[in-house]
Amino acid sequence: MIKDLLATTPIPFPGKPTELRLQQTTTRQISLLSGNLVGNAKSVVGGVSARIFSKGVYGLASAAETDLETVNKVLKAAAENAEFLGSRAPQGGDNLPPLVPCRKEPQKVEPELTQKTLLDFCRELDAHITATYKNLAGRSVNASSLTTEKLLYASNGDTPVVYSHSVVPRTNISVSLTANDPNGSPVSLGKAFGGYGFFHELFSSPEALYQEVAILFEKVMKKREGVHPNAGRRQVVIGSEVAGILAHEAIGHTVEADLVLGGSVARNYMNQLVASELVTLVDFAHTVQGKPTPVPVIVDDEGVLAEDVVIIENGVLKRYMHNRASAHRMGYQAQGNARGNIFSDEPLIRMRNTAILPGTSRLEDIIASVDDGYYLVRSSNGQADTTSEFMFGIAEGYEIKNGVLGRAIRDTTISGVAFDMLKTVDMISQDMTWGSGGWCGKKQTINVGMGGPALRCYVNIGGR
């Protein structure tokens, strides 16, 4: 555990808004590629960073060691950087709205996990796949155990008023299966399991995943016989996992305040109807329905107490996501969206756990209502645009003909203009699920939660 460095040796802060963050990111990783152990590593990356706000700009410095001498060194370097930039290009004063004092201790303590435990689990799962499924061209089994521990001191001036110590684990086991199509070309489908939690909390035994792997195998067998979609604008049912990336990519990025200030189309839409009245979109801080979110944030990396941000309520755009500076500039209150990935990263405006809220329809009724379209189950990647034009890769999907699921489709991409597409949403399912392992790559790659129900809407789909 990271020690409270300032408990015994108070260090004077520079009289300006300052964050001092000690952080350690521990990763264990296993990669089995068709039975070959190609990855077997433990990584510990940690250190300290200091960020100081002065004349409307920030200075930041970081180093790998966390002793008092190094902490003083990075505080000094951060102050010099703030002075360098502030003296040449001042953007304002030294003040930000004051932080609310708080003290938070970690809710979890990392338990012992050995590399052998993780590797044995993966090897047993891999051996099961090899023994059970004979007509695969390739397979991979990967494990990733990531624990991020942070200790943040944040001040309005000379003295830290925020002390936030957190330990956030994420563990994923992912399986990818490859089969050859009738022409001998590879067709792959993968799935990640797990999410927020330590390994032992999420994975009891390899056997517990066998049924999931059996389903994945059936799906890849269907996909190898799959067809290219008929390219163009189509009515689709977006499955809950894809709805999560829709919430994140298509809508979430356009309402991050830095992108709004940069010219996102959402700057024109505050308090306007931007979606079907069925749509409510929330960026959750740490708790949903009494359970932790995939990426719980209690206090963000600027020292702001995190709370839920209701972005769209019944179709009306209500809030943007902010850091302290953007909230100050635009006249709002920051709600805990500033996060940095590793210790040396400055906090950026980031989504945390973004989801469209469930509706009242049943998934089977939504599918049955589509005469000619597609059911899109799993995404691969995605990207947003400041115009709200989005795209997601689709790794798993099926034709819908006369309300019945048909042939699988090959990998494809869907796109649309979010604030147009959202107005075509006319059915939302009553169930809601969170993805197992979301990531966002805005300057720094950081983990995020993405979730939602199934939706019926219109999108553009790539194909032939």
Question: 224-253: which residues touch other proteins (CB under 8 A)?
Answer: 228, 231-233
Instruction: Return the residues of window 431-460 that contact other proteins according to CB under 8 A.
Output: 443, 460
Residues within window 395-414 making contact with other proteins, judged by CB under 8 A: 395, 410-413
What whole-number distance in Å separates Cα of residue 154 and Cα of residue 303? 6
Cα separation, 227 vs 125, in Å, equals 30
Task: Check residue 111 for interaction with other proteins (CB under 8 A).
Answer: no
* Beta carbon of residue 211, minimum distance to other proteins (angstroms, whole number): 25
Q: Which of 34, 174, 369, 433 binds other proteins (CB under 8 A)?
A: 34
Among the listed residues 127, 137, 192, 405, the single contact to other proteins using CB under 8 A: 137
Kindly state the smallest distance separating residue 85's Cβ from other proteins, in Å: 4
Which one among 95, 107, 114, 132 touches other proteins, defined by CB under 8 A? 114
**Residues 6 or more apart in contact with residue 46 via CB below 8 angstroms:** 22, 23, 24, 25, 64, 66, 343
Q: Does 256 bind other proteins (CB under 8 A)?
A: no
Tell which one of 94, 101, 146, 178 touches other proteins (CB under 8 A).
178
Distances in Å between the alpha carbon of 76 and those of 20, 51, 59, 71? 12, 10, 10, 9
How many positions of this chain bind other proteins (CB under 8 A)? 89
**Does the protein bind other proteins through residue 418 (CB under 8 A)?**
no
**Contact 300/422 with Cβ under 8 angstroms?**
no
Alpha-carbon span 267 to 262, nearest angstrom:
9
The residue among 159 and 380 lying less far from other proteins, judged by its C-beta, is 380
| Closest CA relative to residue 158, chosen from 88, 81, 94 | 94
> Please, which of residues 368-397 interact with other proteins by CB under 8 A?
379-381, 383, 385-387, 389, 391-395
With 0-12 / 13-18 / 19 or more C-beta atoms within 10 angstroms meaning exposed / middle / buried, residue 125 is buried
Nearer to other proteins, 369 or 386 (CB): 386
110 contributes a contact to other proteins by CB under 8 A: no
Cβ proximity of 445 and 232 under 8 Å: no
Instruction: State yes or no: residue 36 binds other proteins (CB under 8 A).
Output: yes
- Between residues 57 and 167, which has the closer beta carbon with respect to other proteins? 57
Residue 127 touching other proteins (CB under 8 A)? no
Among 211, 249, 162, 204, smallest CA distance to 435 is for 249
Residue closer to other proteins (CB basis): 296 or 438: 438
CB atoms within 10 A of CB 188: 17
User: Is 173:190 a contact under the CB 8 Å cutoff?
Assistant: no
Count Cβ atoms within 10 A of the Cβ of residue 439 and give its class: 0-12 exposed, 13-18 middle, 19 or more buried: exposed
Which residue number, 47 or 169, has a Cβ lying nearer to other proteins? Answer: 47
Task: Residue 252: name the closest of 452, 38, 39 by CA.
Answer: 452
Which C-beta is closer to other proteins: that of 120 or that of 225?
Answer: 120
CB of 59 to other proteins, least distance (A): 5
Query: Quick one: tokens of 462?
Result: 């790539």
| Candidate list 417, 424, 426, 431; residue touching other proteins; CB under 8 A | 417
Judged by CB under 8 A, the stretch of 197-205, 258-266, 272-280, 433-441 that binds other proteins is 258-266
Among 5, 167, 220, 265, binds other proteins (CB under 8 A): 265
Q: Do residues 398 and 375 make contact, with C-beta atoms less than 8 angstroms apart?
A: yes
Distance between the two ends of the chain, CA-based, in angstroms?
A: 55
CB of 210 to other proteins, least distance (A): 22
Least spacing, CB of residue 284 vs other proteins, in Å = 26
Give the residue with the Cβ less far from other proteins, 391 or 440.
391
CB atoms within 10 A of CB 346: 20
Do the Cβ atoms of 449 and 293 come closer than 8 Å? yes
Is 424 among the residues that bind other proteins (CB under 8 A)?
no
| Structure token pair of residue 8 | 């015994």
Q: Is 259 in the site for other proteins (CB under 8 A)?
A: yes
Interaction pattern, residues 331-350, with other proteins; x per rule: CB under 8 A: -------------x-x----
Question: Does 283 help bind other proteins (rule: CB under 8 A)?
Answer: no
Chain positions 45 to 104 lying near other proteins, rule: CB under 8 A, are 45-47, 57-65, 74, 77-78, 81-82, 84-85, 88-89, 91
**Cβ-based nearer residue to other proteins, 251 or 282:** 251
Contact 424, 147 (CB under 8 A): no
Of residues 447, 462, 359, the one with CA closest to residue 411:
462
Which of 288, 328, 314, 290 shows the shortest CA–CA distance to 434?
A: 288
Identified binder of other proteins from the candidate list 141, 152, 175, 187, rule CB under 8 A: 187
